[in-house]
Amino acid sequence: MAKINIDQANTTAVERMMSARPILTSIATARDVVPNMEDNLLLHAGPPVEWEQMSGPMQGAVIGGLIFEGLVQNETDAVSMVEAGEIEFAPCHEHSSVGPMAGITTASMKVYQVKNTTHGNVAYSNLNEGYGKVLRYGAFSEDVITKLRWMNDVLAAVLSEALANSENGIDIRQLLSEALHMGDEGHNRNKAGSILYTAKLAPMIAKLAIDSDVASEVLQFLADNALSVLNPVMAACKSMADAAHGVEGSTVMTTMARNGTELGIRISGLGDKWFTGPVGQPDGLYFPGFTAEDASGDIGDSTITETVGIGGFAMASAPAIVAFVSGTPQDAVNATMEMYEITVSEHNHFTIPVLNFRGTPVGVDIRKVVELGITPRINTGIAHRDAGVGQVGAGLVRPPMNVFEDALVFYAEHYGLV
């Protein structure tokens, strides 16, 4: 076997990641657009997981998803149906998709379609439900389902029409670049991005409004939710990561996701193989009335942001949320600096003003992770361990080291280095 130039392969992978240009073009029904989507298939966050191993929020979201699909009426029926083996589960990641927290995506759900116009691949994500009792944290009560239906019928229709009437869709990479200069890091903090997103949609929504009450309701929903843009951002990040996947010989991480039980990564040069380990407990700050005791294991596909060089990696650009990393703006800078240690490059498009507009650290090289003993930093929301309670805090978590070590060993075997 010819000697592989790993550095070269990694440069290629990261170049692809950075040159990907994700455009939010439309909203469609998952069944119609998501590759290999089936009516009895539920997509979930993180690496593959079976029902028995699913965490509380994940199981709750599965139940809610089945009720939403109209396949069952209640929790008991849902559990029976799953236990009867009538439902298939698969990671969102294996269907060009990503979803925050539980990430449950069903066939009838509307999804954002984000097209990488540089390389032509498309990625998908469901719509963000806002705060409180929501499906992605495992809630499945009637009001949760009602809200989902409103989103699917009303919100999605308005957004879809607005996007259809926009000239070129919404350039999410450009939006992120701007949001990073406004104090966002793109994962835990998407305040500026959500405002930018709403501002881009508002004129089109107003222009196309037949019912001004509906338009107002939709705009209010977008404006109230500082995470409105998170899902399109995640789909955009997914389209970048997928563009970097499959480069022969590359040791760049192209997937990092959690299902509440396990965290899994995938490597550009190692095909579809997952390397998994137990999720960590986030170290963070909690909402009133909650403590670390209440926290679920780390969950969600939102680590797609860190995978492409934002989120925890761009912490220096979000000094307002530095308390998550323990205190001062200097700590936020240090958090980003640390990630330069394990990455291949500095981002061409995502820059950090406080670091003299240096590009964010991008493209985690598993060799560096293992050598230096530094795992990627993840900024994350913290879910309650019980289904349906919702978010209880936010903080910092790291993946288990073994997933990188395992991937390294597998790489060496795969490429005949041992």
Determine the residue type at 279: V
* β pairing state of 262-267 and 275-278: antiparallel
Q: Which is nearer to other proteins, 169 or 395 (CB)?
A: 395
Closest approach of other proteins to the CB of residue 358, in Å: 10
Q: Which is nearer to other proteins, 6 or 157 (CB)?
A: 6
The DSSP secondary structure of 151-220, one letter per residue, reads IIIIIHHHHHHHHHHSSS-EEHHHHHHHHHTTT--SSS--HHHHHHHHHHHHHHHHHH-SSHHHHHHHHH
Asked if residues 81 and 87 have their Cβ atoms less than 8 Å apart, the reply is: yes
Give the one residue of 206, 271, 371, 402 binding other proteins; rule: CB under 8 A: 371
Closest approach of other proteins to the CB of residue 386, in Å: 14
Closest approach of other proteins to the CB of residue 161, in Å: 28
CA–CA distance, 55 with 77 (Å, rounded to integer): 19
The DSSP secondary structure of 341-366, one letter per residue, reads TTEEEEEEEEEEGGGTTEEEEEEEBH
Q: Is 338 in the site for other proteins (CB under 8 A)?
A: yes
> In terms of Cα–Cα distance, which of 196, 204, 109 is closest to 151?
109
Q: Which is nearer to other proteins, 145 or 374 (CB)?
A: 374
Q: Is 282 in the site for other proteins (CB under 8 A)?
A: no
CA–CA distance, 202 with 218 (Å, rounded to integer): 9
Q: Which is nearer to other proteins, 97 or 336 (CB)?
A: 336
Q: Which is nearer to other proteins, 94 or 405 (CB)?
A: 405
| DSSP H or E run through 259 | strand 253-259
Which residues between 248 and 267 bind other proteins (CB under 8 A)? 251
Q: Is 285 in the site for other proteins (CB under 8 A)?
A: yes
Count of residues in contact with other proteins, rule CB under 8 A: 45
Q: Which is nearer to other proteins, 131 or 199 (CB)?
A: 131
Q: Is 370 in the site for other proteins (CB under 8 A)?
A: yes
Q: Is the dihedral of CA 283, 288, 291, 294 positive or negative?
A: negative
CA–CA distance, 297 with 364 (Å, rounded to integer): 23
CA–CA distance, 350 with 20 (Å, rounded to integer): 12
Give the one residue of 322, 378, 387, 407 binding other proteins; rule: CB under 8 A: 322
Q: Is 334 in the site for other proteins (CB under 8 A)?
A: yes
Q: Which is nearer to other proteins, 44 or 368 (CB)?
A: 368
| Binding interface with other proteins (CB under 8 A) | 5-7, 131-132, 224, 251, 285-289, 320-324, 327-331, 333-334, 337-338, 340-341, 367-368, 370-374, 393-394, 401, 405, 408-409, 411-412, 417-418
